[in-house]
Structure 1
Amino acid sequence: MTARDSAPAARSSSGSTVAAATSVMNVATYGFTIVAARVIGPSQYGAFVACLSLLIVVQVVALGLQATAARRIAVDRSQVAAVEHTILALTTKVALAVGLVLCLLIPAIDALLNLDDLGTATVVAVATVPLTLAGGQAGILQGERRWGALSCFLLAQGVPRLLVGTAIILWRPTATSAILGVAIGFLFPVAVGWWVLRDRRVPETDAPEHSARSMLSESISNAQVLLAFFALSSLDVVLARRVLPEHDAGLYAAGLIMTKVMLFLPQFVVIVVFPDMATPDSRRRALLRSLLAIGALGVVATAAARLLSPVAMVFVGGADFAEVEDLLWVFAMLGTVLAMLQLQVYAVVARQGRRAVLLVWGALAALVVLGLTADSVAGLVTVAVAVDATLLAVLTVVSLRIARRSDPVPTDGAEGSAAAAQ
């Protein structure tokens, strides 16, 4: 068997390993949201989910660093040590800077999320430091395709949150306690990342093309692209707290549990195919196959949410949130659309595209304008589905056009020029 013949089997094995780890991570994370919904109640739960949504938006800094590390390692295997050394040092500095900025913005966080509790806002700000540190570590493991170590890292992201977070909210059932459990949980993957990377190699030669400045510039660009997506995927819960009564905002947050399940269920696909999407000779096939797989999974799950809504309610929050049962399939549809959009956005990052992100920002503006007119849970989720589905259709057309083009093997400069046309 040749190396080319063995590649599909290797990808299948790595996909299975990462899929299992992400499944456990998502079940644990999802399990904690279920426990939180039942323990702290609708009003406190709405505040908790709003905090999580802000962390998801801030997480784009970590994801920008992760994408930079993974992409550069995937396309330049001769400079792995240099990339690894630089990205870890850069990640530490960026994490401390993000934490400091968020601490200065604690009053603004409190007002934005309508928390009426500076303590909760403080926990959110501090939590961004380990959250950001994990980004560079994960990018190295992903780019090097160290799927076993990355799987342990992913497990550490979910299981401790469930165990530690549950213990804290059972002791004190408030939104502050719930977000504190999440913050403590962020420390565990950082510890795992430090351990598996403790014997990192020293670069033998300088690599000016992988300087801290160039990586920071790319990370900022990546973060801007991902910010547009995560803002789009998280803004509706913030809008819910602005345009809906507190009880209805809690119902909307409960429905979003289904959305997040559908968004993160195929997350392993993005993790495994990202290095392939960064490689010119495999990016088109990786993107199109992955879109089909995520779409098929979403159709099945949406149908199940429609036909088995009483069963789904057990996982969403139980009788306290019964008013949202008839809309669970719509929330599942929303999650499927977002999962496919996430893959499209990472494809843009992998090829270092630029102009496609303007479409995402446009969709975000449309969601704000239309979302502010909603006056019910059904109205707001319908707006979110319509905006996201329209964006997905447009990006899919763009991707298909790009896929028809013959892709020459680019240099760094050629890739940037080709991406600028996108």
Structure 2
Amino acid sequence: MSAPSSTRRTRAHDGSAVAIATSVMNVATYGFTMLAARIIGPSEYGAFVACLNLLVILQVVALGLQATAARRIAVDLGNVATIEGAILRTTTRVSVAVGALLLVLVPAVDALLNLDSLTTAAVVAVAAVPLTLAGGQAGILQGERRWGALALFYVAGGVPRLVVGTAIILWRPDATSAILGVGIGYLFPLVVGWWALRHRRTPESVAAEHSARSLLVESAHNAQVLFAYFALSSVDIMIARQVLDDHDAGLYASGLIMAKVMLFLPQFVVIVAFPDMATPTSRRRALVRSLLLVAALGVVMVVAARVLSGLAMVFVGGAEFGEVEDLLWVFAFLGTLLAMLQLQVYAVLARQGRRTVVLVWAALAVVVALGLRTDSVIGLVSVVVAVDAVLLSVLTVASLRLAREPEPDPATG
């Protein structure tokens, strides 16, 4: 039976709100990064980007907590208050532990990132606390399908960083100020999350399955899966630095801007679909519709990158990188594959599959092994596209097969 038209309109409205919010967040985040490059100069910008990349890696902890919260609430609506309280307590403990560990490792972070500033490394450690805290809040809002509040949460994650961060680096143009702006920006989503969750409910019952230990175990598994995916989606630029000369590696990095645009453009689809993918009765339908939507967006982007390649070059580096123009559609296709793979990875998290993640790690190993044998931009991107396409096909078959089962075995997912 098809859903009522009012329900379809509501879902479309929900998706539109989150789509706009994530787009605003990504544009604001990108805008601050570009402004920082121009204001603080190349040397300080390199240190800033190194710190930013470390925070991106640490974000898998927050995303692991978010997926845990969203999945558990979506599949156990009878214990929402219990899960909410347990997630908030667990998230607080984990975030403090992450921050404390990084503070202890400040000298190591300073040396590893070649910052020459213990203060900058300490700011990174402090910034990791609100970053992690936000994961639990976002997961609760996502699991409860409170899309309006979640949309505001995401807007607060981008716009304040642009405004406050820019003001700080204009006052003091260096890497420490830039990463401080990022850290302060992380506080604004927490305020939104606190406001949205301020009315704490009394737990309906005591649910032993939502103990702190079980939440930590699931969150650790989720973080590990997401880390594997992020490694797969990022390793090619590191390979490019090894097998290509500086000029061609720069061309490859320029092309990857197009891939990242296509990866982040349908981010809202994953966010909105995840609770449904976690629900046994709707996971298959949610996965198929989401994959089709991302694929449709991908087709539009690939065609646009091919037909309007000259215009696209404005956003990926300009005339100086003109040699990569004919390959922009290939990078757009790569971004589409990565976006669809992201959906599949979250489908694995939604059903708490354990064995499927081995395929992601295997694909990473294959990309590294074959990529190191290439010697051109087209050769490297072709390897990455081929491996990602095979992985996507295998995961799609596995997901659709397992989605038929109302309660799949986590040990075999």
- How would you bin the TM-score normalised by the shorter chain? 0.7 to 0.9
Quickly say closer, same or farther: Cα 1:285–1:45, change in 2 above 3 A.
farther
Quickly say closer, same or farther: Cα 1:245–1:89, change in 2 above 3 A.
farther
Query: Is it true that 1:28 corresponds to 2:19 in the alignment?
Result: no
Q: Classify the secondary structure of the residue corresponding to 1:59.
A: helix
| Within-5 A mapping of 1:47-196 | 48-109=48-109, 120-170=120-170, 177-196=177-196
Q: Distance in 1 between matches of 2:269 and 2:398?
A: 21
Q: Distance in 2 between matches of 1:36 and 1:325?
A: 27
Q: Classify the secondary structure of the residue corresponding to 2:353.
A: coil
Query: Is it true that 1:235 corresponds to 2:235 in the alignment?
Result: yes
Cross-structure match for 1:401? 401
Q: Distance in 1 between matches of 2:379 and 2:112?
A: 22
Given that 1:43 and 1:246 are in contact with CA atoms closer than 8 Å, whether structure 2 keeps it comes out as no
| Within-5 A mapping of 1:318-357 | 318=318, 324-357=324-357
**Post-superposition offset of 1:244:** 5.6
Q: Distance in 2 between matches of 1:176 and 1:382?
A: 39
Given that 1:53 and 1:234 are in contact with CA atoms closer than 8 Å, whether structure 2 keeps it comes out as no
**Post-superposition offset of 1:222:** 1.4
- Name whichever of 224-233 and 370-379 sits farther off: 370-379
- Code of the residue aligned with 1:59 in structure 2: it is Q
Cross-structure match for 1:301? 301
Cross-structure match for 2:211? 211
Quickly say closer, same or farther: Cα 1:317–1:247, change in 2 above 3 A.
same
Given that 2:78 and 2:204 are in contact with CA atoms closer than 8 Å, whether structure 1 keeps it comes out as no
**Post-superposition offset of 1:386:** 3.1
User: RMSD of aligned C-alpha atoms?
Assistant: 3.0
- Code of the residue aligned with 2:369 in structure 1: it is V
Given that 2:87 and 2:215 are in contact with CA atoms closer than 8 Å, whether structure 1 keeps it comes out as yes
Q: Classify the secondary structure of the residue corresponding to 2:158.
A: helix
Given that 1:30 and 1:257 are in contact with CA atoms closer than 8 Å, whether structure 2 keeps it comes out as no
- Name whichever of 324-333 and 41-50 sits farther off: 41-50
**Post-superposition offset of 1:380:** 4.2
- Name whichever of 316-325 and 28-37 sits farther off: 316-325
**Post-superposition offset of 1:56:** 2.5
Quickly say closer, same or farther: Cα 1:5–1:303, change in 2 above 3 A.
closer
Cross-structure match for 1:420? 411
**Post-superposition offset of 1:171:** 5.2
Given that 1:49 and 1:253 are in contact with CA atoms closer than 8 Å, whether structure 2 keeps it comes out as no
Q: Distance in 1 between matches of 2:140 and 2:21?
A: 17
Quickly say closer, same or farther: Cα 1:319–1:181, change in 2 above 3 A.
farther
Show CA shifts across 1:360-419 (max 9, x none): 01112223333444555555444433332232122123234335xx423x3xxxx4x2x3
Q: Distance in 2 between matches of 1:106 and 1:242?
A: 29
Q: Which runs of 5+ in 2 are unaligned?
A: none
Q: Distance in 2 between matches of 1:377 and 1:178?
A: 33
How many pairs align? 412
Q: Distance in 2 between matches of 1:323 and 1:191?
A: 46
Q: Distance in 1 between matches of 2:232 and 2:8?
A: 34
Given that 1:34 and 1:317 are in contact with CA atoms closer than 8 Å, whether structure 2 keeps it comes out as no
Q: Distance in 2 between matches of 1:235 and 1:394?
A: 21
Q: Classify the secondary structure of the residue corresponding to 1:355.
A: coil
**Post-superposition offset of 1:332:** 2.1
| Within-5 A mapping of 1:34-49 | 34-36=34-36, 48-49=48-49
Quickly say closer, same or farther: Cα 1:394–1:119, change in 2 above 3 A.
farther
Q: Distance in 2 between matches of 1:52 and 1:208?
A: 38
Given that 2:347 and 2:399 are in contact with CA atoms closer than 8 Å, whether structure 1 keeps it comes out as no
Given that 1:42 and 1:247 are in contact with CA atoms closer than 8 Å, whether structure 2 keeps it comes out as no
Cross-structure match for 1:259? 259
- Code of the residue aligned with 1:162 in structure 2: it is L
Q: Which runs of 5+ in 1 are unaligned?
A: none
**Post-superposition offset of 1:131:** 1.0
